[in-house]
Chain A
Amino acid sequence: MENIIEVRSLAKIFGNQTALADVSFNVGKGETFGFLGPSGSGKTTTIKILTAQMSQTDGEAFVFGSPAADLRKPDKRSKIGILTDNSGLYERLSVYDNLKLYCDLYDVSYTRIEEVLQMVNLEDTKKKKVAKLSKGMLQRVNLARAFLHKPALLFLDEPTSALDPVNTKHIYKGLQTLKEEGTTIFLTTHDMNEAEELCDRVAFLNKGTIQLLDSPKSLRRQFTDHTITVELVDGNKEIIDIGANGASKLYNYMSENKVISINSNEPTLGDIFVEVTGRKLS
């Protein structure tokens, strides 16, 4: 598979503080890659280096096969879209006028504005002044702006951090559409459910290094303790091995009609993160 992003031994040091120590990973074409880590772990720093907003102290970062710093050339920038944690909009202008500016800058037809606003559930808000939007609405307009020009590579820095569950779902649907269109997405989050829902692969970032990198599914498999929890009519809960040993036990409970529920003990990504790093995510 063609790699859209390649990062080798990336390091970033601010004064005497190491934000990234030694980070390496690849992101394949069409992949949604999740960068997970607690606050201050270097997620935004990585995005800034990958989008040429910051230079690394050491190591290499390639985007579309060229050094990330090449994105300082204007004509290379139309292939990427970026939502940062502090992206701004023009407050005295309407949502529509804001997006219209970027249509012109990216050479995109104005009809695209309706399309993206629909994707973020804001089709009724286009005439509203940006100053009058709620925080969640702002975030959604910013997101719409980030993928207005159908970038081949989209960087999203905590895209749903200000959103309620309903709008979060809307965004996920929108991102799913982009994914189906072949967009490569680099996403940072400290929301594990978000990572499960959206990402093909996730990297756990902690203390400036990647501690684990795999698909959510195989991580869960790797970290499962191979048990299930059975809740019985007498109120007790029993943890049963899912191997042959547990089979007869479960068979007995079930044939005696003692079972209320059976639950998998497969860990969530959050559990795995805590286990690997010894740190809570948020």
Chain B
Amino acid sequence: MNMSIKRLMAIFNKDYKDLSRNLYVSFTVVVPLFLAAFMGRQGNIALEQQYMVYNLTLCLVTAYIQCALIAEEKEKNTLRNLMLSPASTMEILAGKGLLSFATTLLVLGLSAFFLDYMPKDLIVVTAAMVLSAIFYIGLGTALGLMTKSAMEASVIIMPFVFVFSFGTSLSFFADKYPFLHAADYLPNAQLLLLAKEVELGAGFADVWSNLGIIAIWVVVMTAITVAIYRKRMVD
């Protein structure tokens, strides 16, 4: 597949200008940063609590911004113009995902700084976070394609924020409700498990199953997103 970087960057630049003037959406980046700064002042934060901030970032920044960007393109009938241009599905989706991706890395990095988090193996954790970000971008895109407006986007994202950022604590109740063990396979839970392993000295070879499960989420989500997108190309 030949991707045109020029087209991809044109969409990215457009979204950057647009988002920087859209305070309603861009303001969400402040929430995890504020939380991280606040928690960071207490010092010595448990990994579980830290990862609540990172998972919240992935939902509230990554998925929500992506969802809002796509929903608005739909609402204002600009998405169809992009679809009718020579830009391919991948150029459009990647171009639109790049901004949420860059913002995510920035917010995650700053949060980790506030929380004084330095993983024992930075490369493994970064790889897991990047993979997770791609999953949440896919999630945001799919949700954005299913909603009709930016307003609706902020509502539809809520249950996902609940499950994916606070849901990490679901497994605490798993002794009582065994079906909750399934929550261990959610990408957010896998991210935390991986981080814990890394602190115990694990490297790539030890966490491949966690990375693999997140990667499966990415593949499934991408397939769903592309399918919904293709469907939206025709009335």
Contact = CB atoms under 8 A, between A and B. Distances in A.
Interface in A91-129: 91-93, 97, 100-102, 104-107
A105 B233 CA distance: 17
A224 interface: no
Interface stretch (B84-92, B153-161, B203-211): B84-92
B80 interface: yes
Interface in A72-97: 72, 74-75, 77-78, 80, 82, 84, 86-93, 97
Contacts, number: 76
Interface stretch (A50-58, A163-171, A235-243, A259-267): A50-58
Contacts of A53: 80, 84, 233-235
B202 to A, nearest CB: 43
A73 to B, nearest CB: 9
Contacts of A97: 14, 17
Contacts of B42: none
A201 interface: no
Interface of B is mostly: helix
B76 A102 contact: no
A93 B77 contact: no
Contact of A77 (B9, B85, B91): B85
A92 B18 contact: yes
Contact of B77 (A52, A78, A87): A87
A167 B222 CA distance: 46
A92 B21 contact: yes
A72 B89 CA distance: 10
B235 A48 contact: yes
Interface of B: 6-7, 9-11, 13-14, 17-18, 21-22, 76-78, 80-82, 84-89, 91, 233-235
